[in-house]
C-alpha cells in the first residue's frame, strides 16, 4: 500500500517530465512555424474590405466584429490542425526514435506517458494561442481607439449631441470587449484538449499517422455538426420531433465522438457577450471528463501492445 501511494505521489513529476520532452520534440519539429503564417494573416486583417452600407452609427461595430470573427476562425483552424497533427505524430515518432522504449523501460506507467504527451501538446498549443491572442487583442485595441475617434467626429458632423453619441461609443467598446474574447478562446482551448486526447486514443490502435489524422478530423467535424445531422435526418424522415431511437443514437454517438459544438462559443465572444463563469466551469468539467475517459481507454489499448 505504501509503495502504491508513493508511486501515485510521483505521478505528477513523471507526467511533467514527459511533457517537457514532448514540448522539446514539438519545437524541434518546427510546428511553431505556423505562428508566422498566423502573424501575417492577422496583420492582413487590417486591409479587409469592410461593409460600408451599415451606416455611420454601426460601421465601426461591424468592422470590429469582422476582425474578431476572422481572427478567431484562424485560431480555431490552426489550433485544430496543430493538435491533431502533433498528437498523431508523437507516438510513431517516439517509436522510430527509440524514445518510447527508453521511457517505458523505466518505472513510467503508460497512463503517465500518455498524459505527459497530451500535456506537452497542450503546452505548445497554449503558447501559440497566447501569442495569437495577444496579437489579435492588440489589433482590436488599436482599431477600436481609431474607430472611436472617427465615429465621434462623423456623428457630430451629422448633428448628434455628445449624449446621443455616448451609447454608440459604448456599443463599439462592447464589440471590442477583450474579456468576452478571452472567455471564447479559453473555451476553444478546452475543446482542443478533448480533440488532442481523442487523437491520442485513435493513434493507439491505428496503423499509421495519416489514418489517425483522417479519423480525428472526421470525428471533429461530425462532433461539430451532430445536432444538425440528426435534425436533418428527422426532417428527411418527415418527423416533427426527435424520436426515442434517434435520441439513443445521438447519445451513443456522443459517447463515441465528443460533441465539439459545445466548445464553439466564438460567435457569442465576437459579439461581445459574456459567456459567464458558470458556463465556463461546466464546460471545463465536461472537457475533463472526456479527456480522462480518452486517456483511460488509450492506456488500456496501449497496455496490450508490446514495446
Task: Flag the least confident range among 36-50, 133-147, 159-173.
Answer: 36-50
Vertex 76: Cα angle to 70 and 82 (nearest 5): 135
Is the predicted pLDDT of residue 40 greater than 80, yes or no?
no
Is the predicted pLDDT of residue 249 greater than 70, yes or no?
no
Share of the chain above pLDDT 90, in %: 11
- Among 304, 270, 287, 301, CA closest to 83: 287
What pLDDT is recorded for position 17?
85
Return the residue matching grid coordinates 521511457.
Answer: 103
The widest CA-to-CA distance across the chain, in whole angstroms, is: 80
Q: So where are the chain's domains?
A: 15-303
Whether 275 contacts 264, CB under 8 Å: no
Work out the average pLDDT over 273-296: 86
Q: What is the DSSP string of 58-114?
A: THHHHHHHHHHHHHHHHHHHHHHHHHHHHHHHHHHHHHHTTHHHHHHTSS--HHHHH
The distance from CA 31 to its chain's CA centroid, rounded to whole angstroms, is 17
What pLDDT is recorded for position 240?
47
- Among 83, 81, 25, CA closest to 200: 83
What pLDDT is recorded for position 235?
57
The distance from CA 224 to its chain's CA centroid, rounded to whole angstroms, is 12
Amino acid at each position: 500500500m505504501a509503495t502504491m501511494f508513493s508511486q501515485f505521489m510521483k505521478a505528477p513529476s513523471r507526467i511533467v517530465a514527459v511533457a517537457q520532452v514532448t514540448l522539446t520534440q514539438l519545437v524541434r519539429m518546427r510546428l511553431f512555424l505556423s505562428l508566422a503564417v498566423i502573424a501575417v494573416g492577422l496583420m492582413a486583417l487590417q486591409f479587409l474590405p469592410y461593409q460600408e452600407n451599415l451606416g455611420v452609427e454601426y460601421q465601426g461595430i461591424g468592422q470590429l466584429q469582422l476582425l474578431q470573427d476572422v481572427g478567431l476562425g484562424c485560431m480555431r483552424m490552426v489550433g485544430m490542425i496543430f493538435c491533431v497533427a502533433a498528437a498523431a505524430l508523437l507516438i510513431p515518432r517516439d517509436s522510430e526514435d527509440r524514445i518510447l522504449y527508453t521511457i517505458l523501460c523505466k518505472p513510467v506507467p503508460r497512463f503517465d506517458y500518455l498524459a505527459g504527451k497530451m500535456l506537452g501538446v497542450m503546452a505548445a498549443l497554449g503558447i501559440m494561442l497566447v501569442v495569437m491572442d495577444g496579437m489579435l487583442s492588440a489589433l482590436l485595441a488599436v482599431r477600436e481607439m481609431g474607430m472611436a475617434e472617427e465615429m465621434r467626429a462623423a456623428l457630430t458632423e451629422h448633428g448628434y449631441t455628445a449624449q446621443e453619441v455616448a451609447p454608440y461609443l459604448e456599443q463599439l467598446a462592447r464589440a471590442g470587449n477583450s474579456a468576452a474574447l478571452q472567455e471564447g478562446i479559453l473555451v476553444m482551448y478546452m475543446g482542443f484538449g478533448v480533440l488532442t486526447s481523442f487523437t491520442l486514443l485513435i493513434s493507439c490502435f491505428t496503423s499509421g499517422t495519416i489514418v489517425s489524422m483522417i479519423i480525428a478530423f472526421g470525428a471533429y467535424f461530425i462532433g461539430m455538426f451532430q445536432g444538425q445531422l440528426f435534425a436533418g435526418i428527422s426532417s428527411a424522415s418527415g418527423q416533427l420531433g426527435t424520436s426515442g431511437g434517434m435520441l439513443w443514437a445521438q447519445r451513443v454517438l456522443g459517447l463515441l465522438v465528443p460533441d465539439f459544438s459545445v466548445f464553439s462559443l466564438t460567435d457569442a465572444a465576437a459579439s461581445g457577450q459574456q459567456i459567464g463563469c458558470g458556463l465556463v466551469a461546466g464546460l471545463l468539467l465536461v472537457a475533463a471528463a472526456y479527456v480522462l475517459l480518452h486517456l483511460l481507454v488509450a492506456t488500456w489499448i496501449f497496455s496490450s501492445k508490446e514495446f
